[in-house]
Amino acid sequence: MLKTKRMNWAQTIYQKGFEKGFLDGCREMLIEVAGTRFGESVTEPLAALLRAISDRQRLIEVGRWLVDGVSGDTLLARLEQR
């Protein structure tokens, strides 16, 4: 029983670490793409806004906005609205 609890605890920590790493990687990629498209004037405010997002689907949505070709101002405005 104790061994099972320890294994579940370790697995939970691993999953949380994996999820955090995934989200951090998504944020970095979005900032890099936005920086390439819009320049540094967008990357700093974008980074601050993205740090507040902990939902994977929300980050994917932001990526879709970049693919859809929104402007830097529109990207920031959409993130500030939510």
pLDDT along the chain (82 residues), means of 10: 64 72 92 95 96 93 95 96 84
Q: What is the pLDDT of residue 2?
A: 56
Q: What is the pLDDT of residue 51?
A: 94
What whole-number distance in Å separates Cα of residue 22 and Cα of residue 29? 11
What whole-number distance in Å separates Cα of residue 41 and Cα of residue 39? 6
Q: What is the pLDDT of residue 82?
A: 75
Buried b (16+ CB within 10 A) or exposed e, 19-51: eeeebeebbeebbebbbeebeeebbeebeebbe
